[in-house]
Amino acid sequence: MTNPLISAAGITIAYPNGLTALKDFTLDVAQGEFVGIVGPSGCGKTTFLDAVAGLMPVAGGRLTYKGKPISGINTGEVGYLFQKDSLMPWRTAAQNVYAALELRKVPQAEWRQRAQDILQKVGLGRFTDKYPAQLSGGMRRRVQLAVLLAFDPPVILMDEPFGALDAQTRTIIEDDFLRLWEQNRKTVLFVTHDLEEAICLCDKVVILTAHPGTRKQVLEVPLQRPRTIDEAKFDPEFPQTLKTLSTSLRAEVGRTLAL
């Protein structure tokens, strides 16, 4: 790949206690690519996202963003959607969005309209004045997407962002995110344990080995874009893609259980 946006060249990452999380991991990510990352529990998936965000130092190898080593928090370039709810509970949906707009140095006079427009995009135009405790889990996740849209980073890191939602809500929000992603084609690194989700959303899926994690395989997703979740699952390429991904991952899960 010529001039990747994010490049990990044989990186090793260790926790403060000395335990190695990732070992000799290599991956290039192009601008605008939607990349899924799957692997057994404890193989370093989230650790890799943390390193790209600048939250975790690299002990060996080279990790770069736009050709430069990542050193410290990747301020302004990376948005991170964590597994857990990261909204400020004392702020309304609109006020949570205001925080991102302030970080982006948007004039305060524009905050109200910008927040309204963004919340409308994620289907929350009637809930701008509601606090997180007044919203369902799916609605709170939509507010977090709105905050990301307001912050408007070139790179979006997503760590099992929809895992806690019920199946129906999850599909709706995945479709909404795909629709929004098609509008701007941000670079996305997406960690998930759901193989169907990885295939439906991503351009390619990176499979990590059992701990310590390293790259086992990169599977290109052969489904056409644009697509919805239902369209993806009924694509004739979907079953074989799922079988290939599942077979490869199952071997690593087996290794984890045998440790």
Neighbours of 107 (CB within 10 A): 8
C-alpha angle 149-54-146 in degrees, rounded to nearest 5: 10
Q: What mean pLDDT is predicted for residues 98-103?
A: 94
Q: What mean pLDDT is predicted for residues 169-173?
A: 92
pLDDT 10s digits, 119-142: 999 999 999 999 999 999 999 999
pTM of the model: 0.93
Q: What was the pLDDT predicted at 42?
A: 87
Q: What mean pLDDT is predicted for residues 17-33?
A: 94
Q: What mean pLDDT is predicted for residues 56-66?
A: 95
Q: What was the pLDDT predicted at 3?
A: 87
Say yes or no to pLDDT of 1 above 80: no
Beta strands in 30-108 (DSSP E): 34-38, 60-65, 68-69, 78-81
